[in-house]
Structure 1
């Protein structure tokens, strides 16, 4: 089956709104203007909501967010109504629904100590519920994945591990979760599980290890795991899975520590573990892999890397070359969003082209660490960068995309480091309100409309225009075709100010 939607003027909003009829609106954004766009405000009595509608055959529904303030603005139209309209040039998407690629695993964010603590600081129970429903509920953007740190990260109030004392205790009989788990992370995850529309697939990632396992007892620096403690470090991951399972929370996957290249190159002052390719391969092949596969948690995915796109050959190809047996245990590669503008997307597919069945999952993305302001209220540019990156990644066989902190305070913290980041939701606990940044809606155009099991289909885009339209198309398990489009240009001046802006669109039709 082939479908040829036309996007006139290379500006998606023009085609969609020219003759689209209105459908029922959801609870709209309570907009608060900033100097660049708007944020949507939620308080104890009001929070915007969005529902997903499957269209009858021959119709389509459109959900639009824009720089001028549209947020999931919902309209409908009849496919046959849309023929060429001059003087605007026409971008055509030629979709081959029979040629299929990767299957979506999901989208989500991270339950860090900072996110859980910021959420816990909300005194009003209804507002706390609104935040959880905004991310996970059927009237929210329906996240179905989470990243869960194994002990402390840079977004923790302090540095700690789950087995600090006694030292050199390789059987880890002293292993225990931290107060941060019980007070912040576990309650937030369980609240999400109650309202989620699909099973939450949780990816665990360690930033550090107990200090006694390292070549020098430093949380930061270039220290590696002592080889005599490779087994203990594998046991450390196993016990993390076991202890969370005892809390009723299943772990779907593990990464082989966060950003190991930062340790090799001594980048920044984050808490970390350093790997070499040979050391990582040995640890996977002889310790972590056999321990997980021969346990009740044998189906937990093992993801190597958890580093930048440019590092995929290092943490996959070189690891497998140095230690071929590691390939038997590696399910996929975890990738981070940073520096993608300087790295070709082929780095996501070329290293794995000879390894069918191995997948790529994005596990971290954020803005603000080296930017001013760190928290940029209403930034549409950051939303567009997210959308552009996700579309590109999905077109290169990535199966899912996980944002960093689910929420932070207005200063972009808390953190034990003197650092700050932006987040899709910023909480003003003292005002009993939170705001949804444009990034929230950019992420939602994917998580809301591409449920787990959606399959990417072949697309050829014909664009004689100079303006660029980024797009990706999936067939969903609900029997619909979803195209997500993002354009960078303004609409013609004769349109109303509400529409004369760049935009992000999710378009749904029945197969």
Structure 2
């Protein structure tokens, strides 16, 4: 893994440069305070927007969100050709590039669709605009569960007819027709380039060893047999039915969290694969079935779709088989149980540099010990920011939230597996709350464009409370994201950014205690 922190001498040349001290809520946020923090309230007639960049060459737009209440507060920082004072010096080098960023996303879960449908149409569309338009989060990915999962109101599959190996009775359900497809189509009106990728939580029960979707179990038989061929057809039929609704898919995961299906205590929809059985299913059944179909021949197949601690062994097992690897494009990872994520991701990229790594699921509040929905939680915004930085600094090309919108309980969920979400809906009030997590995602997704390259960056000191990353957009603009955490000692920093591509320009700004900043540097006039 390339290092992004190294020691450099601190220079103390003092020079005037535009800076800003943030200490108030962004004026555009209609704030509501709780004991746990502050949310921004949106209604039919109003919702705060991200301030426009509006900078020219030699200027940078600084966006700040903080524990004290700022939400993407914008200021302009002017370049100076002399190095000013700073307690932290960050150097970026765009001549050293790493992975290409594909984008950020969220999930069109049944729960998200149910909540959108419970709101007035105009307000539901506001949520989709906030997420998918280029004036909002500019999300590029949409994850679509194949049939039901824990964020459904019931357990269902697309074919309950036992031994229908040809999938002649395959049908989409009311959930697809009312909660998924309409809102995917509406999101595409805000961003026609949204890339959809699908993932199953379980095969129909009659194809499983336990004869039921919920709970643990494996696919019956072995790779290459009737059961595995039937399940491969199940995938193809899903793609065909969505195609009839003018929805095509960019990617497909073979199984959500396959290790969960081996947990005998697990009660949600799941199905176990080992790396070996997943490899063989792809090689003998799913891969050939997709390649033989019009809807699947160009699909990007993702393996694993599970916690990062399973790497690199899982990827090694699948991708060292050339026949299986020929059907695979990427490795899907979740953001749980990740204390050594950098090690696992770095080794995986080193072993398999031709396969991208995509973050496909992250959430807060789903641990049974946590409060599911915590209004205004800045801790969770910090967790998201730190998680995304950890991923991006270690070869991951994108990151995906678990749900677009949930209700005040953190659902609906048929099994009461409630969680937090960036947006919480209140249909009785015709309102929704934007959590700090929403703004944490925005600090990345709004500014880092698809096709951006992560670039080399370094801090002059090892500051355990500060995390950072830097990117070069296709248009030449540069993006720096920094997180100043408060887990140990809350400290404000004066940051000086120097670009090795233009040693004349330095940018000085404040990094408040417990804050997230994005510095967007414009390198040309358009």
TM-score with structure 1 setting the length: 0.90
Single out whichever of 262-271 and 354-363 deviates more from structure 2.
Answer: 262-271
Residues 1:313 and 2:308 aligned together: no
Which residue in the other structure is 1:200 paired with?
194
What is the rounded CA distance, in whole Å, between the counterparts of 1:467 and 1:334 in structure 2?
28
Which residue in the other structure is 1:170 paired with?
165
After superposition, the Cα gap between the structure-2 partners of 1:383 and 1:81, relative to the gap in structure 1 and judged at 3 Å, is: farther
SS in 2 for 1:118: helix
User: 1:181-221 deviations in whole A, cap 9, x for unaligned?
Assistant: 0011111111101112x500111000011111112202233
Contact 1:366 1:422 in 2 (8 A): yes
Contact 1:95 1:457 in 2 (8 A): yes
Which residue in the other structure is 2:84 paired with?
84
Match among 180, 183, 191 for residue 188 of structure 1: 183
User: 1:167-193 deviations in whole A, cap 9, x for unaligned?
Assistant: 111110111111100011111111101
Which residue in the other structure is 1:38 paired with?
38
Residues 1:327 and 2:325 aligned together: yes
Residues 1:350 and 2:347 aligned together: yes
User: 1:31-74 deviations in whole A, cap 9, x for unaligned?
Assistant: 11122321000011110111442632211111111111111101
Q: What does residue range 339-488 of structure 1 map to in structure 2 within 5 Å?
A: 339-340=337-338, 342-370=339-367, 371-463=369-461, 466=463, 468-488=465-485
SS in 2 for 1:361: strand
Match among 500, 513, 517 for residue 505 of structure 1: 517
After superposition, the Cα gap between the structure-2 partners of 1:492 and 1:338, relative to the gap in structure 1 and judged at 3 Å, is: closer
User: 1:475-503 deviations in whole A, cap 9, x for unaligned?
Assistant: 1122200111111144559xxxx996411
Contact 1:8 1:90 in 2 (8 A): no
Which residue in the other structure is 1:12 paired with?
none
Aligned Cα root-mean-square deviation (Å): 2.7
Single out whichever of 346-355 and 106-115 deviates more from structure 2.
Answer: 346-355
Single out whichever of 135-144 and 437-446 deviates more from structure 2.
Answer: 135-144
Contact 2:492 2:511 in 1 (8 A): no
Which residue in the other structure is 1:215 paired with?
209
What is the rounded CA distance, in whole Å, between the counterparts of 1:499 and 1:264 in structure 2?
45
What is the rounded CA distance, in whole Å, between the counterparts of 1:384 and 1:398 in structure 2?
19
Contact 1:52 1:449 in 2 (8 A): no
User: How far did residue 246 of structure 1 move?
Assistant: 1.3
What is the rounded CA distance, in whole Å, between the counterparts of 2:82 and 2:51 in structure 1?
25
Structure 2 unmatched runs, 5+ = 494-509
SS in 2 for 1:232: helix
Residues 1:139 and 2:135 aligned together: yes
Q: Work out the number of aligned pairs and report it.
A: 488
Contact 1:27 1:47 in 2 (8 A): no
User: 1:98-137 deviations in whole A, cap 9, x for unaligned?
Assistant: 1111111110110100110011001x22211211111112
Residues 1:151 and 2:147 aligned together: yes
What is the rounded CA distance, in whole Å, between the counterparts of 1:188 and 1:84 in structure 2?
49
SS in 1 for 2:187: helix
SS in 2 for 1:99: strand
What is the rounded CA distance, in whole Å, between the counterparts of 1:277 and 1:50 in structure 2?
43
Which residue in the other structure is 1:67 paired with?
67
SS in 1 for 2:269: coil
SS in 2 for 1:95: strand
User: How far did residue 90 of structure 1 move?
Assistant: 2.4
Q: What does residue range 244-263 of structure 1 map to in structure 2 within 5 Å?
A: 244-263=242-261
Contact 1:51 1:138 in 2 (8 A): no
User: How far did residue 351 of structure 1 move?
Assistant: 2.6
After superposition, the Cα gap between the structure-2 partners of 1:16 and 1:110, relative to the gap in structure 1 and judged at 3 Å, is: farther
Which residue in the other structure is 2:278 paired with?
280
What is the rounded CA distance, in whole Å, between the counterparts of 1:430 and 1:8 in structure 2?
58
User: 1:211-251 deviations in whole A, cap 9, x for unaligned?
Assistant: 11112202233321123311111111111111111111111
Name whichever structure is richer in helix by fraction.
Answer: 1
Single out whichever of 476-485 and 151-160 deviates more from structure 2.
Answer: 476-485
What is the rounded CA distance, in whole Å, between the counterparts of 1:482 and 1:363 in structure 2?
23
Structure 1 unmatched runs, 5+ = 10-14
User: How far did residue 437 of structure 1 move?
Assistant: 0.3
Contact 1:26 1:50 in 2 (8 A): no
Q: What does residue range 44-59 of structure 1 map to in structure 2 within 5 Å?
A: 44-53=44-53, 55-59=55-59
User: How far did residue 27 of structure 1 move?
Assistant: 7.5
User: How far did residue 254 of structure 1 move?
Assistant: 0.6
TM-score with structure 2 setting the length: 0.87
What is the rounded CA distance, in whole Å, between the counterparts of 1:347 and 1:257 in structure 2?
20
Contact 1:116 1:188 in 2 (8 A): yes
Residues 1:103 and 2:100 aligned together: yes
Single out whichever of 427-436 and 136-145 deviates more from structure 2.
Answer: 136-145
User: 1:296-318 deviations in whole A, cap 9, x for unaligned?
Assistant: 23221100001000112343212
